[in-house]
């Protein structure tokens, strides 16, 4: 009888200890969620390869922000504008590195909340997404090889017979046919690829916007930016950049308020700093 009783007591104590252990674990897990609620995020997409608007770097120097799911960081003019918007929204900025051609699909599908990537608010894009007010306006230039046949060009028509390209699905590429007798090359996915093609002689030049042209020629002495007196004809929508947003987005009004609070002088200062701190062009 004593033997049975002792066995029973042992089993009883074991059950109590087991229940106590479970209770401790459960109460610990339930306490965690309430202690620190996660801040709501503001996810933006950019390609992190279009300096000085945006680029990739290895650390958080000069205000760069860590890329989502990536060991690298993004810096540049777009990142600084995005930081201002996120702060005004009271949200944590999350940057999702996305190929240029994938930005609009990522926005439409909800993977990102906005595109802040030096994107122009063209009528074609407006069929699919909305845009904020402009946050920068530039002009088209040509980037050529230093010491090459086109270094001293002053007009776009000086590029007759030249092999010229631009980035895929951009207004940069669409204006090339304004050059009489140009040999328009297939559009390329990104600026790094165009710089490689230019250096190797595959192309004679590529169309870009002034900030990227200044950026590339300042960081790589193999390239020169050509500004034109007789230049490309383009609508403001092709040379301006704005924040891309989902159709009917509730963020549009607040983002426009933030952009309105940034003066033209401050915008130029941000751009000058971006050009100054950008990594060397590849």
Q: How many other CB atoms sit within 10 Å of the CB of residue 203?
A: 24
pLDDT band at residue 126 using 50, 70 and 90 as cut-offs: very high
Q: What is the pLDDT of residues 214-256, one digit of tens each?
A: 999 988 999 999 999 879 999 888 899 999 999 999 999 999 9
- Domain total in the chain: 2
Strand duo 130-137 + 240-245: pairing: antiparallel
Same domain, 45 and 132: yes
Residue 230: its pLDDT value, please?
A: 76
- Considering the entire predicted model, what is its pTM? 0.76
Q: Average pLDDT, whole number, for the chain?
A: 88
Rounded distance, CA 85 to CA 159, Å? 41
Residue 17: its pLDDT value, please?
A: 42
Same domain, 152 and 204: yes
Q: Is 130 inside a domain boundary?
A: yes
Q: For the chain, first and last CA: distance in Å?
A: 86
Q: What value does the mean pLDDT take over residues 62-83?
A: 97
Q: Is 26 inside a domain boundary?
A: no
Q: Is 12 inside a domain boundary?
A: no
Same domain, 46 and 133: yes
Helix count and strand count (H, E) for the chain: 10, 13
Q: Is 64 inside a domain boundary?
A: yes
Same domain, 156 and 188: yes
Q: Is 206 inside a domain boundary?
A: yes
Same domain, 145 and 227: yes
Q: Higher confidence at residue 279 or residue 65?
A: 65
Q: Is 46 inside a domain boundary?
A: yes
Same domain, 126 and 245: yes
Same domain, 218 and 79: no
Same domain, 133 and 266: yes
Same domain, 52 and 86: yes
Q: What is the pLDDT of residues 162-201, one digit of tens each?
A: 999 999 999 999 999 999 999 999 999 999 999 999 999 9
Same domain, 145 and 265: no
Q: What value does the mean pLDDT take over residues 132-157?
A: 96
Same domain, 242 and 114: yes
Q: What value does the mean pLDDT take over residues 38-48?
A: 95
Q: Angle at which helices 210-219 and 191-200 pack, to 10 degrees?
A: 50
Q: Is 227 inside a domain boundary?
A: yes
Q: Is 149 exposed, middle or buried (0-12, 13-18, 19+ CB in 10 A)?
A: middle
Lowest mean pLDDT among 34-48, 51-65, 168-182, 233-247: 34-48
Helix (H, G, I), strand (E, B) or coil at 111: coil
Q: What's the domain range around 46?
A: 41-137+238-277
CATH number for position 78: 3.40.190.10
Structure tokens at 214: 């200044």
Q: Higher confidence at residue 31 or residue 240?
A: 240
């Amino acid at each position: 009888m004593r033997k049975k009783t002792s066995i029973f007591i042992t089993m009883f104590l074991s059950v109590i200890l087991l229940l106590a252990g479970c209770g401790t674990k459960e109460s610990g897990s339930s306490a965690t969620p309430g202690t620190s609620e996660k801040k709501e995020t503001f996810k933006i997409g950019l390609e992190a390869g279009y300096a000085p608007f945006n680029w990739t770097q290895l650390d958080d120097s000069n205000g760069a922000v860590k890329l989502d799911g990536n060991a690298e960081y993004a810096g540049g003019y777009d990142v600084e504008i995005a930081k201002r918007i996120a702060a005004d929204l009271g949200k944590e900025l999350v940057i999702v590195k996305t190929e240029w051609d994938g930005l609009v699909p990522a926005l439409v599908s909800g993977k990102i909340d906005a595109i802040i990537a030096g994107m122009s608010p063209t009528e074609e894009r407006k069929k699919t997404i909305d845009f904020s007010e402009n946050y920068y306006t530039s002009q088209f230039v040509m980037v050529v090889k230093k010491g090459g046949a086109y270094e001293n060009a002053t007009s776009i028509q000086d590029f007759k017979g030249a092999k010229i390209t631009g980035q895929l699905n951009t207004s940069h590429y669409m204006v090339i046919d304004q050059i009489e007798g140009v040999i328009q090359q297939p559009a390329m996915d990104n600026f790094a690829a165009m710089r490689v093609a230019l250096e190797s002689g595959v192309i004679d030049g590529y169309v870009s916007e002034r900030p990227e042209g200044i950026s590339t020629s300042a960081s790589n002495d193999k390239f020169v930016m050509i500004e034109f007196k007789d230049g490309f004809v383009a609508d403001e929508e092709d040379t301006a950049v704005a924040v891309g947003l989902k159709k009917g987005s509730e963020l549009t009004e607040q983002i426009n308020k933030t952009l309105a609070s940034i003066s033209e002088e401050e915008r130029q200062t941000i751009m000058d700093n971006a050009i100054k701190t950008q990594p060397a062009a590849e």
